[in-house]
Amino acid sequence: MGTGVKLGVLASGSGTNLQAIIDAGLPVAVVVTDRPGVAALDRAAGAGIPPAVVDRSQHLPDRVAFTDAIIGALRAHDVDLVAMAGFMTVLAEPMFAAFPDKVINTHPSLLPSFRGAHAVAEALAAGVRVTGCTIHIATVEVDDGPILAQEAVPVLPDDTVETLHERIKTVERRLYPAVLHELIEKEHSAAGAVVL
Ligand code: GRF
């Protein structure tokens, strides 16, 4: 994708959404993780994408210092748009001032139901027959902000948290790159707009 728009991806874990973003050919300029030794870093290395580790254990409980370090890592790569893909540290307000309306998140539930880190377990415990995923603009309120796309996923009778989460992630890996692709195209058109 040769738009000149640069995407930064924030990840903490296995990075299968990151991989889908990479495989979709989106312009990932940097992969930032909040801890060392995670698979997301291997995926970045495999794709020749620069990594940056901002180790939360070195910063927390100072969430603003942690957030400033994340912003620094993204700015160092001239990032225009930020995709959180399984990023498990809450970011402070400066992030959303630095990248207004440019921080995107994917969450494994149909928001506003089941916010937070245990969305899949909570949906299962609640006995809902349908859950899903939500792609939204991230704001300082966790798992809040304008919804860009949602897709429903059925809960099956024998589901465990793992099987249900994997069914949801299969959808996320298709939907998230598609939404990001659209946003990058928009960003590109906006940057190219001529004001007369
Ligand atoms: C996804 O379900 C995402 O919505 C949630 O964490 C999971 C990340 O999975 N926040 P992966 O690391 O991309 O495999």
What is the CA(6)–ligand 1 centre distance, in A? 21
* Residue 60 or 164, more confident: 164
**pLDDT (0 to 100) of residue 85:** 98
**pLDDT (0 to 100) of residue 3:** 77
Spatial separation of the C-alpha atoms in residues 163 and 139, rounded to whole Å = 29
Rounded mean pLDDT of 152-170?
98
Is residue 151 predicted with pLDDT exceeding 80?
yes
pLDDT tens-digit profile of 34-60? 999 999 999 999 999 999 999 999 999
Is residue 193 predicted with pLDDT exceeding 70?
no
Answer whether 177 contacts ligand 1 (Cβ < 6 A).
Answer: no
Is residue 194 predicted with pLDDT exceeding 60?
no
Spatial separation of the C-alpha atoms in residues 126 and 149, rounded to whole Å = 23
Answer whether 170 contacts ligand 1 (Cβ < 6 A).
Answer: no
Rounded mean pLDDT of 176-190?
95
**pLDDT (0 to 100) of residue 141:** 96
- The values of phi and psi at residue 170, to 5°, are -60, -40
Task: Quote the tokens at residue 132.
Answer: 């899903």
What is the CA(12)–ligand 1 centre distance, in A? 9
**pLDDT (0 to 100) of residue 190:** 86
**pLDDT (0 to 100) of residue 126:** 98
Find the distance separating the first CA and the last CA of the chain, reported in whole Å: 28
- Which are the catalytic amino acids? 107
Rounded mean pLDDT of 22-39?
98
Pocket test for ligand 1, best of 168, 169, 174 (most atoms within 8 A of CB): 169
Is residue 195 predicted with pLDDT exceeding 60?
no
Average pLDDT, the chain: 96
Rounded mean pLDDT of 113-126?
98
Is residue 82 predicted with pLDDT exceeding 70?
yes
**pLDDT (0 to 100) of residue 42:** 98
Pocket test for ligand 1, best of 12, 17, 42, 170 (most atoms within 8 A of CB): 17
Is residue 93 predicted with pLDDT exceeding 60?
yes
Answer whether 153 contacts ligand 1 (Cβ < 6 A).
Answer: no
